[in-house]
Amino acid sequence: MIASIQHNSRKYNIDLSEPLDISIPLRGDATNVNAWNIDPPKIIPHTEGEFIGKVSEGASTNFNDIWFNPHAHGTHTECVGHITKRFHSVNNSLERHFFLAQVVTIAPGKLNGDFVISKKQLQNALANDNIEALIIRTLPNTREKFSKQYSLTNPPYLLEEGAQYVKERGVDHLLVDLPSVDKEKDEGKLLAHKAFWKVGGNKRTNATITEFIFVDNSIRDGTYFLNLQVAPMENDASPSRPVLYKIIE
């Protein structure tokens, strides 16, 4: 199924029958990806008295309770409300859901003992001046990212200058395959978050950051259309399912 999308003055064709899902699914056990020193997610049958919400236990339906934290347990999209005193809901941040996007692959460099993504690396990687979304795949890129336990490992992150540059390039939606765009322990500075959302100035309330994605190695660097959907939750962050579509030339 071919669909046409108008972006600025150009019309793009995409094939809706070939979606490229770059989300990580949520599993209710310790094999699920995790960060920020919290327990793994749980997906368990609801119990009430003698009732157990599981067909194999005699119930008429499977009726599960789910406990998770969107920031720690999988692909999620967050808005500026993640770091502001005033409440902002990610459910109100996306006025539309298709965006011209670029996928780039970056091997984080070493700086003061940390692995980081710098402005120079992003300058070298970004080729399209018209993109609305940037998807960063970091190296090494293995399926360990589906179950990696990131707590206390000091994962790679974006330098403030890098986040500032991405914002200046007009990117409204930043997606990374890391638990955060900022350093795991940074004394609450959150420099990359603040730079990207322009906190301290005219806040970019329609801009989003999506973390914990996985971009399979079969997906080449280049330009795509991104369909970004979030679960309709009134919260600063929500589980999300970013899907890429190839552009048909």
Tens place of pLDDT per residue across the chain (249 aa): 898 898 888 899 999 999 999 999 999 999 999 999 999 999 999 999 999 999 999 999 999 999 999 999 999 999 999 999 999 999 999 999 999 999 999 999 999 999 999 999 999 999 877 899 999 999 999 999 999 999 999 999 999 999 999 999 999 999 999 999 999 999 999 999 999 999 988 999 999 999 999 999 999 999 999 999 999 999 999 999 999 999 997
- Residue 168: which domain range? 17-25+71-248
Domain count within the chain = 1
Q: How high is the pLDDT of residue 169? A: 96
Q: How high is the pLDDT of residue 71? A: 98
d(CA 161, CA 145): 26
3-state SS, residue 119: helix
Q: How high is the pLDDT of residue 201? A: 87
Q: Is the dihedral of CA 225, 142, 163, 120 positive or negative?
A: negative
Q: Tell me whether residue 34 is in a domain.
A: no
Whole-number CA gyration radius for the chain: 19
Q: Phi/psi of residue 53, each to 5°?
A: -75, 65
Q: How high is the pLDDT of residue 246? A: 97
Q: Tell me whether residue 241 is in a domain.
A: yes
Q: How high is the pLDDT of residue 6? A: 87
CA-nearest of 202, 64, 69 to 78 is 69
CA-nearest of 67, 64, 69, 42 to 51 is 64
Tokens in use for 179? 């638990």
Beta-carbon contacts of 158 under 8 Å, excluding residues fewer than 6 positions away, are: 116, 117, 166, 176, 181, 182, 192
Q: How high is the pLDDT of residue 11? A: 92
d(CA 107, CA 116): 9
d(CA 108, CA 233): 33
Q: Tell me whether residue 9 is in a domain.
A: no
3-state SS, residue 135: strand
Q: How high is the pLDDT of residue 184? A: 98
Q: Is the entire prediction scored with pTM above 0.85?
A: yes
d(CA 182, CA 160): 8
Q: Tell me whether residue 164 is in a domain.
A: yes
CATH number for the domain that contains residue 75: 3.50.30.50
Q: How high is the pLDDT of residue 1? A: 85
